[in-house]
């Protein structure tokens, strides 16, 4: 097979992997805790205010409905981080028209999510609205247009991690990194999967951790469910993550990988 053929095959497989589905699920298993004695949350983030008002739809749940907003989970999760880090809302200013709102959204999402949060005076101002939830509710079409398409998120090379085996040590490192990032005030975007089961190949954003008797419970924003937080749990005894309450997913073990936190990952 020539290079073009291989590239097309790789893109197709990546697309099939990341568009497979989404999640909801289990309870903490026994085991030693990670040693964290108090809840940790990203103080600058509010689930009710700093998330999109509209969902990413699961195509399999909407058959024969052309044009639905599906397969945008990576775009939305990254976008929540970008708005949290780079945007500032000012309801006292006059609202922009559709084109103006599209342009502001494009400016926000043009900044790499891995970059440090900007100080308030340097942030991109979204006038006429108090927060992202309000803005995306009233200007849904402009926000979606400004966010752009999902193609490059489907074929990002790091999506291949879902098909690779990982050991408990790696997953424990991820759990520690999530808590460390939350302590530093940063949201953590995760690629979560129960591959080869074609159900959960998805992304969520962790914003709070809560210690449990057997590990750590992570509260996450799920692009598929704007109505309330999901939960994934680190089971210290089993050295694995569980989909404890993720949207439209059966309970069971999952693997988690950090996303968009460095130049390559």
User: Residue 177: how many CB atoms within 10 A of its CB?
Assistant: 14
Pair type for strands 87-90 and 124-127: parallel
213-253 residue pLDDT tens: 889 999 999 999 999 999 999 999 999 999 999 998 888 99
Helix (H, G, I), strand (E, B) or coil at 144: helix
DSSP, res 198? T
Pair type for strands 252-258 and 201-212: unpaired
15-64 residue pLDDT tens: 444 444 433 333 333 444 454 568 899 999 999 999 999 999 988 888 88
Return the percentage of the chain with pLDDT > 70, whole number: 81
What is the band of 261 on the pLDDT scale with cuts at 50, 70, 90?
Answer: confident
Average pLDDT, integer, range 61-86: 94
Torsional class of 260: left (φ above 0), alpha (ψ -120 to 50), beta (otherwise): left
Which pLDDT score, from 0 to 100, does residue 63 have?
86
Cα distance between residue 53 and residue 55, in whole Å: 7
Q: What is the mean pLDDT of the chain?
A: 85
Task: Give the predicted TM-score (pTM) of the model.
Answer: 0.84
Cα distance between residue 145 and residue 229, in whole Å: 25
Which pLDDT score, from 0 to 100, does residue 148 have?
97
What is the band of 200 on the pLDDT scale with cuts at 50, 70, 90?
Answer: low
Cα distance between residue 130 and residue 122, in whole Å: 18
């Amino acid at each position: 097979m020539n290079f073009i053929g291989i590239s097309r095959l790789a893109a197709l497989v990546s697309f099939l992997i990341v568009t497979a589905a989404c999640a909801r699920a289990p309870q903490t298993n026994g085991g030693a805790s990670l040693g964290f004695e108090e809840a940790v949350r990203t103080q600058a983030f509010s689930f009710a205010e700093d998330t999109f008002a509209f969902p990413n739809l699961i195509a399999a749940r909407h058959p024969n409905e052309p044009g639905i907003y599906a397969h945008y989970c990576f775009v939305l999760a990254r976008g929540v981080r970008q708005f949290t880090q780079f945007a500032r809302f000012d309801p006292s200013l006059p609202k922009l028209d559709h084109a103006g709102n599209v342009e502001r959204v494009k400016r926000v999402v043009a900044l790499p999510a891995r970059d440090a949060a900007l100080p308030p005076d340097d942030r991109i101002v979204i006038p006429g609205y108090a927060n992202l939830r309000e803005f995306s509710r009233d200007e849904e079409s402009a926000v979606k247009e400004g966010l752009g398409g999902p193609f490059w998120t489907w074929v990002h090379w790091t999506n291949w991690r879902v098909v690779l085996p990982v050991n408990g040590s790696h997953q424990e490192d991820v759990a520690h990194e999530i808590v460390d990032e939350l302590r530093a005030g940063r949201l953590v975007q995760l690629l979560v999967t129960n591959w080869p089961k074609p159900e959960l190949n998805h992304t969520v954003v962790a914003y709070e951790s809560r210690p449990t008797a057997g590990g750590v419970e992570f509260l996450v924003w799920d692009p598929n469910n704007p109505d309330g937080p999901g939960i994934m749990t680190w089971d210290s005894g089993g050295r694995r993550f569980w989909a404890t309450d993720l949207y439209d997913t059966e309970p069971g073990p999952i693997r988690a990988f950090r996303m968009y936190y460095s130049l390559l990952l």
